[in-house]
Chains A and B, each alone.
Chain A
Amino acid sequence: MSKEKLPYFLLRHREIPDLDNLEVYRRNGGFQAFEKAVTQMEPTAVTEVVKASGLRGRGGAGFPTGLKWSFIDNKNWPHYVVANADESEPGTFKDREIMEGNPYQFLEGVAICAYAVQANAAYIYLRGEFWDLAARLDQHIAALEAAGLLGENLFGTKYSLRIYTHLGAGAYICGEETALLESLEGKLGQPRLRPPFPPSYGLYGKPTIVNNVETLTNVPLIIEKGADWYRSMGTEKSPGVKIFSLSGCINKPGNYELPLGTTFRELIFEHGGGIPQGRNIKAIMAAGASSSLIVADERALDTPMDYESVPSVGAQLGSASVIVIDDSVSIPWLIDKTTHFFRHESCGKCTPCREGTFWMSHLTERIANGRARREDVELLYDVASQIRGKCLCALGEFSIEAVLSGIERFRSDFDVAVGEIQVAAQVEQVPASD
């Protein structure tokens, strides 16, 4: 892997000032890809290019984007595109930076996707907290309409497109694509049964493509520069660049746009400047609160961050929200944080997640606060195992990752917590709040 710094492709605003101005964006090649698609390409040809690029969904699941687009049901109309801007995974803050700094590239990606599946309406579902951001996106959309880049008969063709923003109101589960669609329909954000999947039964029961903000932001460059160019970056099975959100015990937290396959070591120690106060790295969570805890040994640090390699250290890349844990952090305290998060965010639809996250949070609270006994750790492990494989959606399934891996890989921290090993508490441990 070359260490040469690539130019920015997604966080281009870091190099080009005022990229959130339409004029500036257009001067830098903006909306040429969209125009090329609409005026020179068949919709399916657009999908083929994206398929060939190997772009995979950046929201966490890593599903091949072009393949998803090709699943759109052409026997049922109209079609919709929904951009998933519900960015809510603890440790993830990349979509917000894209939409703030480089909004037009994202909107162009939405537009190209909509053209590829022949949708005439696209919605951007933003988490409710992105209130200011939504207002700015509305202005950008208005600017696009004024410039004739959105609206009726685009570029003199028969193709028309409108983009609308829609604010959520504080529910992590709405990042799950079917819950998001329910929410957009004005209902409780609870996941639907799948199948059917959104490309055949989505918004208002119509074929719908739901893609993450970062995923869509890749699309204009792929159309402009071609699939081969995109495949020249990253790894064979995980081509392209990815934004890694780096947070936790780290000197330089922030977003880092790097090729997929960059190692944890490079991200944490070269780009992130290492661990504060000279402490030692203890664990890594690669996919936010939904992660397993990776024991940060030499092998793990040298593992490339791509969709295939991360499982070799017992975790998933997910949304690439890398939370760094140093040796001052007690793992029982940490999993108490994550279980409280999932308990708060469980939609309540399925039994194991609703009851299991609630039960786990009681156990982690007792363990973290030193009120537990050894059997509570066993019980916690049992309860987490009992949730596994039974939930309706990924939220419940991921709620146990940190718990199980924490107990399996950092057992001594639990022994300390239940008083079997006496060690002075080292870290600030404020009880988690609900």
Chain B
Amino acid sequence: MMAKMVSLTIDGKHVEVPEGTLVVNAAKKVGVDIPVFCYHPKMEPVGMCRMCLVEIGRPMIDRATGQPLREEDGSLKIQFGPKLETACTTPVSEGMVVLGATEKAKAGREDNLEFLQTSHPLDCLICDKGGECPLQNLTMGFGPGESRYLYDEKKHLAKHVPLGELIYLDRERCIQCGRCVRFQDLIAADPVIGFSQRGRSLQIVTYSEPGFDSYWSGNTTDICPVGALTTTDFRFRARPWELRAAASICNHCPVGCNLTLNVRREAVSGGKWVVKRVMPRQNEAVNEIWICDKGRLGYHFGRQNAERLKKPLVRKNGELQSATWEEALELVAERFQGVGSGLITLASGRLSNEDLFNLGKLTQSLGGRSLLYTSMAGGDLTTQIGFAPGTNFADMGKESAILVVGSDLEEEAPLWWLRVRQAAKRGATLIVLNARNTKLDRDAHYSLRFPFGMAAAAVLALVNALSPKRPELPESIQELARSNELKGAAKAFAEAKDAVILFGSDGMGLAETQALAQACANLLLTTDHFGRPNNGLLGVWPRANDQGAWELGWQPSMNLPADLAQAQALYIVAADPVSDDPAYLNAFDGQKFVVVQDLYLSQTARLADVVFPAQSWMEREGSYTSGERRVQRYYPALQPIAALPPRVESPGTRRAPLLTGLRAELDGPQADFAIPAYLAEKLGFEGFAHASASLVFARLAAETPSFSGLTYQKLAEVHEQWPIVGRADMYYGGTAYENTQGLGAQLALAQNGASLLSWPQAADFKLPKLGGIAFPITRLYDRGATLMHSQLLHKRIGEPYIVLGEQEANRLKISQGGFVRLTFTESQQSVVVQVKVDKNLPERVVLAPRSFGLPVSGPTPVELKSAG
């Protein structure tokens, strides 16, 4: 239903906005800036800072007739209140007259600014916020010329207060607007910072361990209207006005948060461009104006550090030695020729659409197999009944149902957690169906638990409650299936106008996620929730472009170790299987020809015959397809590493430095899409582009039905978004960047739903009477090769550990922080590892975080012994 429209005037401009709109936002819509500090368009108003004071008049009503009174000239008679009113807390009303530029209103602002300045230090010259500071800007605009407050009566407070090792607080600069505290409470649901004391002594504190314990902490530095909160990553590193901005996309998870990489040239780095910080870039259909701390602080792997591979390496006399591109490409082309089906190209969703397209095409031309390196299946279904174009979490509310199954969503895809939670707050029915408790349960209407190992069966139980064609249910799920809670959830899901399912890989490997995806597909098909906006299946993939890989036809092997072992040649790109599971070592027996293409000399690369150095995502162009099937471009922020000085075109303000054209002689790391194209050239294959990502994308779009019609120009299109952020008035939305380089485009769905209704295998699964089962889980702060380059996060990442239930820990006589010896029943390999205790876990369950060096790719039998 459309909201009733209300018309009013603001500083003489006529405005028509929906009923309930706040005056401050109505003003914003017609380009009138009313200054604010505490108000933020993403949060409910609190009216604390009193900065937005305006004069407000309302039509006078004749009490007898109920009709508005009129002046002699026929215009409405307007009555102004005696006091100024706060524009941020006052909703519009019909005929309202708002005056924000009168002497009285301006005096009110000046008064408030003078009050704020009595406490605020005059350290703009050394403040990280200087140059993008709302207080600085507003004081210049509205403030008094000089202070009547005696300098020596200023309150002096601590200026370097670590709220943990990621965020610093300057107590003098804080103006007590409470934006950070409210953000953490209302949006991040981590109320780990708060106000202590009162009056002028009011100050921000944290008592969490570690300090400011939240994945969202960096956002508070964006919305802080002064330089009180800064990230350790950026603090004292550069001044905002020195920075150029390059549009980018985060590649840590499948959400695809829009980023801006802030770069500058530095003498200390030999005059090169260097990334100084990562900022959120607005995309209201993806990440709004937020990013998680992993996205903000976990970019360091893409920088040009000493460990990066700079030249190709070729094994000579048993050792990897530097070689020219010509030499390395020749060698690989020669060895790949004629291998045919003996070639396996193994690549991960860390790569762009363009990279995967060229790699796949090369492999196909050679007659080999392309395999996606992933721990999660089901992409064959999301390409068909995934999110349809026009789907947006922001549009989900009372008429929607959201089922999250087999996923610890905040850990796996933080922004989706945030947006699903907000949809639930708007009234969407949220069903959380997991083996264990997660943070999302706090906001769930139905919080359902299935026995470990029974995810697919649990979804089938939902189908069973609804469908006349009832799938058979295994015994262990019967109790849940009979529960009223589950029946209620099934009914709510079926009856919702729109419904989506997010499925993840919590506790599951490839086989289990394949079954789960199949079960989810059945639920969506049974309830007719697919093929239209705000309906469909969403995979919470482990990597940024897994969905893109599936769309381009990449699929995982259901038995990768065996496949690798049998191959004659391997081309491994952006994957490091040996680090993940030592079992893969068997495949590298020295008999086969192995090529690895990566940023660093990984454990796998050390075993290769040829290593190609790749460019990081910040050094090149490309596109990712998010889990929501949105194709989004990223732009180069840095000059690639190269021995020759690059031809630099002077970049404009807030624009990326431009790439040099391709040089005749290859030098330094190359883009992942270019290297297979060079090989194709050597091999005499036609139809490969390597000169630019846009040329590759053009071919990709021409040859891939779901990408049909998409171009780089189309991906770069933008339209006006609400709230307006990132312009001169940073006090309104914060320092998140306005999106001027593209909102991306959602893919059409593949027209193929025929095979979907076959029931998945959902065999019974029971925990053993002896020993235990290790289930893989995902932690946001993992020990993967990329994140470990962000030293700042090491303390949060921590050492390898497993999680046990309280009973299990008691049985082993072990407490939090103790050590166990974990023996893998099958291989009899064992490892000593630290224990964390989660009182909600059942006995015999071991949670093993992925990437922590434990070979647990799916439910794995283990034995446990206390190791002190």
Contacts and interface: CB of A to CB of B under 8 A. Distances in A.
A377 interface: no
Interface string A349-393: 111101111110010000000000000000100100010011110
List the 9 shortest-distance A-B pairs measured between CB atoms, nearest first. A348-B202, A355-B115, A346-B199, A358-B200, A389-B83, A386-B111, A348-B199, A348-B198, A362-B153
Contacts of B47: 193, 350, 392
A359 B199 contact: no
Nearest to B175: A351
Contacts of A354: 115, 176, 199-200, 202
A347 B199 contact: yes
Given A355-B200, A392-B48, A348 B112 contact: no
Given A193-B45, A343-B200, A392-B48, A351 B115 contact: yes
Contact of B197 (A173, A348, A386): A348
Contacts of A382: 148
Nearest to B115: A355
B43 to A, nearest CB: 13
Contacts of A357: 199-200
B54 to A, nearest CB: 12
Contacts of A348: 176, 195, 197-202
B108 A390 contact: yes
B189 interface: no
A390 B118 contact: no
Nearest to B177: A351
B576 interface: no
A344 B111 contact: no
B53 A390 contact: yes
A151 B50 CA distance: 46
Interface of A: 171, 173, 188, 193, 343-352, 354-359, 362, 379, 382, 386, 389-392
17 contacts: A345-B198, A347-B199, A348-B195, A348-B199, A349-B46, A349-B176, A350-B50, A351-B116, A352-B50, A352-B111, A352-B112, A354-B176, A355-B200, A357-B200, A389-B84, A390-B108, A390-B111
A390 B86 CA distance: 9
B82 A350 contact: no
Interface residues of B, number: 35
B89 A188 contact: no
A172 B153 CA distance: 25
B149 interface: yes
Contacts of B199: 343-348, 354, 357-358
A259 to B, nearest CB: 32
Contacts of A347: 198-199, 202
Chain B CB within 10 Å — which of A345, A346, A355, A389 has the most? A355
A379 B148 contact: yes
Contact of B89 (A193, A379, A386): A193
A391 to B, nearest CB: 7
Interface in B92-114: 108, 111-112, 114
Contacts of A343: 199-200
A4 B860 CA distance: 93
A355 B176 CA distance: 11
A171 B115 contact: no
B48 A351 contact: yes
Nearest to A361: B200
A351 B51 contact: yes
A188 B191 CA distance: 13
Contacts of A390: 50, 53, 83-84, 108, 111-112
B119 interface: yes
Given A346-B199, A347-B199, A359 B118 contact: yes
Nearest to A171: B198
B116 A391 contact: no
Chain A CB within 10 Å — which of B48, B108, B119 has the most? B48
Contacts of B45: 193
Contact of A386 (B51, B115, B155): B115
A395 B153 CA distance: 23
Contacts of A389: 82-84
A392 B178 CA distance: 15
B126 interface: no
A346 B198 CA distance: 7
A10 to B, nearest CB: 33
Contacts of A349: 46, 48, 176, 178
B150 interface: yes
A50 to B, nearest CB: 26
A356 B195 CA distance: 19
A175 to B, nearest CB: 14
Chain A CB within 10 Å — which of B50, B149, B178, B202 has the most? B50
Nearest to A195: B89
Contacts of B178: 349
Interface in B32-58: 45-51, 53
B423 to A, nearest CB: 21
B115 A359 contact: yes
